[in-house]
Copies of this chain bind each other. A is one copy, B any other.
């Protein structure tokens, strides 16, 4: 089957999902990110790799944090960045998504960074660009519905590789609302491709997707079981809207059962690292003792995230 992320030569041409992303492409992205990490530490944090390119941040769903990381990454590559507040724009005037895209392509856009509440929207754009023969325009999925958030998945892989080197001996526990999490899905696909020893999905029955076991993931409803001897613990953000709905009794109850406290973390391996995609709900899914503790690598994740996004944009632009 045709992989819409790769061109005929097997090179990355869009980043839509970690699902179907070959191991060597993931490795290429992580290696490239490694070289960019050094740039962010320089006095002049810029390289001219995307000079004169127009990168459009198309956020159909508001996310200041994620938009900011892409804006910084693009500016450090010297691109011109245009932020489109799409909720207030022509789509609100009845224009279709693809008419908006066609218009921006006609303005000589080079890259779209797309966040959308609907799963599959970045695919739709990619297919359309392919149909109209614009293979020189690239799409980066910055999160679509419950489907995928591949740059977050890749920065998580970067983080794990940075601290643990090899994936094969690792036990990775992903804890929380996996059902609604595009981060979890992107992590599971990438971890699987990279040959992770054991992947665990830890959470209440109501927040685990029924199909997760078919992805080769071990399901744990008990947090202690899920954490025992883990090398990596990935905590997921509990969306506010879940907290007082039908799926969960309350935030307090959730913390009692699935909140990561220092005592619970002690069940994992002593050198286990704790990750979180942010923004954190302290006292809901994670205790401050852990969030600010020695095992947390949550802020390094953010730093690696800029480098990974620079790497993805740079590779897509043909560098």
- List residues of A whose CB falls within 8 A of some B CB: 40-46, 51-54, 62, 64-65, 68-69, 71-72, 75-76, 80, 82, 84-86, 88-90, 93-96, 99-100, 102-108, 240, 278-282, 299-303, 305-306
Residue pair B303, A106 in contact (C-beta under 8 Å): yes
Nearest CB in chain B: distance from A285 CB, A: 11
Q: Are A107 and B69 in contact (CB under 8 A)?
A: yes
Task: Other than A54-B72, A62-B88, A65-B89, give 20 A-B pairs with Cβ distance below 8 A.
Answer: A40-B108, A41-B108, A45-B53, A46-B51, A64-B85, A64-B88, A65-B90, A65-B103, A68-B82, A68-B107, A69-B107, A72-B80, A76-B80, A94-B279, A95-B280, A96-B282, A99-B278, A103-B302, A107-B305, A107-B306
Check if A280 sits within 8 Å of B99, measured CB to CB: yes
In the complex, the answer to whether B95 meets A278 with C-beta atoms within 8 Å is yes
**Can you list 27 residue pairs at the A/B interface with Cβ under 8 Å?**
A40-B108, A41-B108, A43-B52, A45-B53, A45-B54, A46-B80, A54-B75, A62-B88, A64-B84, A64-B89, A64-B90, A68-B82, A68-B104, A68-B107, A72-B82, A72-B107, A75-B80, A76-B80, A93-B279, A95-B278, A99-B282, A100-B279, A103-B299, A103-B302, A106-B303, A107-B302, A108-B306
Which of chain B's residues have a CB closer than 8 A to the CB of A86? 64
Once bound together, how far apart are the Cα atoms of A53 and B46, in whole Å? 9
User: Known interface pairs A65-B89, A90-B64, A103-B65. Does A45 touch B278 (Cβ–Cβ under 8 Å)?
Assistant: no
Chain B residues with CB under 8 Å of A53's CB are: 45
Task: Check A303 against B107 for contact (C-beta < 8 Å).
Answer: yes
CA distance A53 to B43 in the complex (A): 7
Query: Which residues on the B side are within 8 Å of A96 (C-beta)?
Result: 282
A90 touching B52, Cβ below 8 Å: no
* 4 pairs of A and B residues whose beta carbons are closest in the complex: A44-B52, A64-B89, A95-B279, A106-B302
Residue of B nearest to A74 (CB): B80
What is the minimal beta-carbon distance from A293 to any residue of chain B, in angstroms?
14
Q: How far is the CA of A240 from the CA of B290 in the complex (A)?
A: 46
Q: How far is the CA of A69 from the CA of B40 in the complex (A)?
A: 26
Q: How far is the CA of A300 from the CA of B103 in the complex (A)?
A: 9
